[in-house]
Amino acid sequence: MDEKQRTIEQVTRVKARHEQELLRLANVVGVGVGFRHKHGQLTDEVALVVNVSQKKSVLELSQKDIIPTELEGIPVDVQEVGHIRAL
């Protein structure tokens, strides 16, 4: 198993431990494992991806709804996806 695969497995375990608490935060519509975006560009860094309906500044959120920048040493990438609904 290569380094990237080990990292993906580690991030997947962190996701399993924190997914429910993240989904309870305002604006969060999904949690997954993916690659981090930085300055609008996709990187090859594996991250815990938190999907939100709309990105908001920290000042617009209550303290309890702020998404951490990392969990258990794993980077967290907040990505705006809009409202998700079934067809």
The dihedrals phi and psi of 64, each to the nearest 5 degrees, come to -75, -15
Identify the structural domains of the chain with CATH numbers, from first to last.
Answer: 3-80 (3.30.300)
pLDDT in tens, the chain (87 residues): 799 899 999 999 999 999 999 999 999 999 999 999 998 899 999 999 999 999 998 899 999 999 999 999 999 999 999 877 777
Q: And the tokens for 32?
A: 């997954």
Please tell me the pTM assigned to this model: 0.90
Q: 84 and 23 in contact (C-beta within 8 Å)?
A: no
Q: How many CB atoms lie within 10 A of CB 33?
A: 18
State the pLDDT at residue 36.
Answer: 94
